[in-house]
Structure 1
């Protein structure tokens, strides 16, 4: 099963314009966000090709300067999945396309490896995505964020065979219980990494945005709203900090995690 890994990266982020080119300090010096994301992608085993997908020449030129292959995509792509679909059209011949988002340089390599293995073991699934079981500390943090009107993360619920039922920026399922910080809970945090079968990904841009995707702002809901099977793969964080760079305030958090991993 041949695998293409795509790193979508756009300059015009609403919350943080230009963030792919933001510099992040680490034990190995200062490197941009897109370079660290590319290095994370290159560490994944079993990947046949890695490309950066962007619509901005500044990101293209910078990525090419450190040796990354770049595919230019349109400015009309509404999310990373649509950008990956454009790459799949431009680079046919791969069975699976992985979307490793360009703002998540802390993504462990085994998350992606587990997704690809999950698709191999579940031929009925169209897409695979990782979920992490929340402990009490994480769940309480999510609940505190919601009470304060903030989105602390996306949660997922799934049924038999780990088949995804729904994803939400609300905390689901409702438990009504209080958990100790280190106590496992029935709530799962969704991690925004995806492995798509080629046919499902190519079909995605032609589907209209459904009401659930529009309300939640979650691109994976388009698959569910069109009857496609989403496989949730439980992954082990192994004590690693997982954090995406969405706002300037996330920079010191990621830099601290890079230092800790060293």
Structure 2
């Protein structure tokens, strides 16, 4: 198995323009993500995928590798699909979020381990929910898994609904999971799913992985105990620095 790590990075952002280039204690965010990804022993190569010359120049300056992509991609998955065409000898792609500067390389290795199993098409990470704040936060996607730890459904709503208990007892009645947004794909599956049209469930929940579920793809999961810290707004950055 030959694994390519891709970090999609775009300059435009409604809530935080120029986010990949923000300074975090002496290093840009994209450099921190890149350096963390390099520590993952399961990756054979790491590249940044961007359509912006400013980001490309920053990556070049810290000695990283990048690939310029088209500017019309709707998601990081689409950007990964274009980049993977430049590396035809890789059979597995890991989509590493470009706004998580402190991603733990062990999480990447855990995700890659999914593809050691036969017939895995897609993979992602999940984490146990321990607080009501996370459980009832619609900005945190929840996931239901089956006995093989395959994802059955993702939702911004709290699922499953516990009919036999009051909501303040739900955490005692069932083990809930939240989705950690890092994806792995076989290159074959990656190119297949980017040809799919947006699905009704995806549009309803605004979660692209539902397009894959709705079209019959199986998503393998692994449970991580490590928390991720994403920077979506300037306020998130201030919290991390503090």
TM-score, reference length from structure 1: 0.86
1:106 CA displacement:
2.2
- How many angstroms does 1:54 deviate by? 0.4
Q: Residue 44 in 1 paired to residue 45 in 2?
A: no
Residues 1:144 and 1:134: Cα distance change in structure 2 (over 3 Å) = closer
In structure 2, distance between residues paired with 1:144 and 1:156? 13
Shift of 1:80: 0.6
Question: CA–CA distance in 1 between the matches of 2:219 and 2:57?
Answer: 35
CA RMSD of aligned residues (A): 1.8
TM-score by length of 2: 0.92
**Partner of residue 21, structure 1:** 21
Aligned residues: 239
Q: Does 1:5 align with 2:1?
A: no
1:244 and 2:230 equivalent? yes
Kindly tell me: are residues 226 and 144 of structure 1, through their superposed partners in 2, closer, same or farther at Cα, counting changes over 3 Å? closer
CA offset at residue 160 of structure 1? 2.4
Deviations 1:134-175 (A, max 9, x none): 11x2xx1135544xxxx2x11111112111111112222223
Change (3 A) 1:154 1:145: closer
2:146 match: 159
Find the partner of 2:157 among 166, 170, 195: 170
Assess if the C-alpha contact under 8 Å between 2:51 and 2:70 holds in 1. yes
1:188 aligns with 2:183: no
Residue among 198, 208, 211 paired with 1:209: 198
Q: C-alpha distance in 2, partners of 1:173/1:9?
A: 34
- How far apart in 1 are the matches of 2:146 and 2:234? 37
- Alpha-carbon shift at residue 85 of structure 1 (Å): 0.6
Deviation at 1:252, TM superposition (A): 2.2
- 1:229 aligned residue: 218
Shift of 1:180: 10
Give the 3-state SS of the residue equivalent to 1:83 in structure 2: helix
- Aligned mates of 1:169, 1:118 — CA distance in 2: 25
Q: Is 1:210–1:225's contact at 8 Å kept on the other side of the alignment? A: yes
Deviations 1:94-113 (A, max 9, x none): 11100001001222111111
Cα distance in 2, alignment partners of residues 65 and 89 from structure 1: 25
Q: 1:60 aligned to 2:56? A: yes
Task: Report 1:110-125 matches (<5 A).
Answer: 110-121=106-117, 123-125=118-120
Residues 62 and 169 (structure 1 numbering): CA distance in 2 closer, same or farther, change over 3 Å?
Answer: same
